[in-house]
Amino acid sequence: MLGLNNRDTRFFLIVIALTLFTPFLLQPFPEGSAMAQFNAGYPDLMQRFAIYGIFAIGFNILLGLTGYLSFGHAAFLGVGSYSAVWMFKLLSLNVIPGIILAVIVSGIFALIIGYISLRRSGIYFSILTLAFAQMSFNLAYSVLTPITNGETGLQIRLNDPRILDGEGASQYTNLFGLDMSSSFKLAMGDYVFTFNAGYYFCAIIAIAAFYLSLRIFRSPFGLMLRAVKSNQHRMNYTGLNTRPYTLAAFVISGMYAGLAGGLLAAMDPLAGAERMQWTASGEVVLMTILGGTGTLMGPILGAGFIKYFENIFSKINDNILHAWFSALPDGLEGFLVTIIHPFVGKGWHLTLGLVFMLVVIFLPGGLVEGGQRIKTMFSRKKNSDAASDVKPAE
């Protein structure tokens, strides 16, 4: 189906199903129960899963296939956000033109930065991309204030021209009249499921983005990129100019980032310079590595993992901890709360840093490799012959 072999088709269908049923899957606990705080099925977070999933998928095309570690990808995300918001201000609050412009502008941006940065490789490439991103960030904060609105951030106003919108047009970002923020709530007994228009819009784009990356991974172009990763010198010695291939990968991943930025703006029409800061670039690196570099599913898992913990883990405070352990004797309860306290709530970055370090040290293939190891462990017990030809489930 769609030019995929059977295995990939099955895999792709699973991804589609998971994405479409996310509002159910992320709401495993009934409303009002003690575990309800672990529910992640609210629109804002689900949108972020999809958007950062796109960002990480795109980043993985560069890092996973060519091995070039960019520390400046957030710049493209920021550029995408700014161009989308400008489209909302000038043309229409319909999200389509904004997102198209976001992809185009970030693509041009990536072409320029990539053309210069890809002249070097290894750590120098990382530093060059970092330098470009920091330059964009600093400029967005200072001189480019007329375009970026500096520290306040760019936002839509009631008196924007919006030449395509008629008199009675919606005042919110919409898709041909369907507001991105509109939701349909489905109550089933104790469970409440929220189906949000914005999430499904992002999800469909994310599925398309995933499909594209799947095709790139399986294409001759993807094979060429892998060859660049494993031995660029040898490729050069065979008389092949690798630069156009790496540049294409860089631009594609930049456009993915721009798409993610445009979607962020479409969900919440606001663009700030802090989206371009190098810590934001570091975040996408974390997502990709944590999930598994060079695997198809890894970046999405990583993005979901980080965004989930950022939103859910950081909400756990001392009261909740005390409530959890209230069944235990007082001394033990206090002790456990003291131990766990630094790792949750405001300290969730500490957990993130520790998990990330552990993954880099023990599981260089990320969560996907972890899953495979567990799988191999079990299948080896059943059938020792089968274990030898387990292929990586990308």
Partner 1 sequence: MDAILLQTLNGLDKGAAYALIALGLTLIFGTLGVVNFAHGALFMIGSFCAVTLQRLLSISYTTIDPEKTDFLGNPAKIETPYIEGWFGPEIGAAIIDWSVPLAIIFAIPIMVTLGFIMERGLIKHFYNRPHADQILVTFGLAIVLQEIIKYYFGANPIPTPAPTAFKGSLDIGVMIGFDPNAIIYPIWRLIYFVFSLIVIGGIFAFLRFTTFGMVVRAGMADRETVGLLGINIDKRFTIMFGIAAAVAGLAGVMYTPINSPNYEFGMEFLVLSFVVVVVGGMGSLPGAVMAGFLLGILGSFASMNEVKQIFPGIDQIIIYLVAIIILLVRPRGLMGRKGVMEE
Site residues (CB under 8 A) for partner 1?
67, 69, 116, 119-124, 126-128, 130-132, 134-135, 138-139, 141-144, 278-279, 282, 285, 289, 342, 346-347, 349-350, 352-354, 356-357, 360-361, 364
CB-nearer residue toward partner 1: 28 or 122: 122
CB of 140 to partner 1, least distance (A): 10
CB of 368 to partner 1, least distance (A): 16
Place of tokens 């710049």: 75
CB of 64 to partner 1, least distance (A): 12
Nearest alpha-carbon partner for 53 in 299, 237, 218, 269:
299
CB-nearer residue toward partner 1: 92 or 126: 126
CB-nearer residue toward partner 1: 19 or 66: 66
CB of 340 to partner 1, least distance (A): 13
Nearest alpha-carbon partner for 132 in 68, 71, 61:
71
CB of 308 to partner 1, least distance (A): 18
CB-nearer residue toward partner 1: 354 or 374: 354
Contact of 110 with 253, CB cutoff 8 Å: yes
CB-nearer residue toward partner 1: 322 or 349: 349
CB of 146 to partner 1, least distance (A): 11
CB-nearer residue toward partner 1: 86 or 278: 278
CB-nearer residue toward partner 1: 46 or 140: 140
CB-nearer residue toward partner 1: 84 or 306: 306
CB-nearer residue toward partner 1: 273 or 300: 273
CB of 294 to partner 1, least distance (A): 12
CB-nearer residue toward partner 1: 207 or 289: 289
CB of 355 to partner 1, least distance (A): 8
What Rg value do the Cα atoms of the chain yield, rounded?
Answer: 22
Contact of 256 with 51, CB cutoff 8 Å: no
* Amino acid, res. 332: L
CB of 255 to partner 1, least distance (A): 22
Q: What is the 3-state secondary structure (H, E, C) of the chain?
A: CCCCCHHHHHHHHHHHHHHHCHHHHCCCCCCCCHHHHHCCCCHHHHHHHHHHHHHHHHHHHHHHHHCCCCCCCHHHHHHHHHHHHHHHHHCCCEHHHHHHHHHHHHHHHHHHHHHHHCCCCHHHHHHHHHHHHHHHHHHHHCCCHHHHCCCCCEECCCCCCCCCCCCCCCCCCEECCEECCCEEEEEECCEEEEEEHHHHHHHHHHHHHHHHHHHHHHCHHHHHHHHHHHCHHHHHHCCCCCHHHHHHHHHHHHHHHHHHHHHHHHHCCEECHHHHCHHHHHHHHHHHHHHCCCCCCHHHHHHHHHHHHHHHHHHCCHHHHHHHCCCCCHHHHHHHHHHHHHHCHHHHHHHHHHHHHHHHHHCCCHHHHHHHHHHHHHHHHHCCCHHHHCCCCC
The Cα 226–Cα 240 span in angstroms is 14
CB of 366 to partner 1, least distance (A): 11
Q: What angle do CA 117, 121, 122 make, to 5 degrees?
A: 125
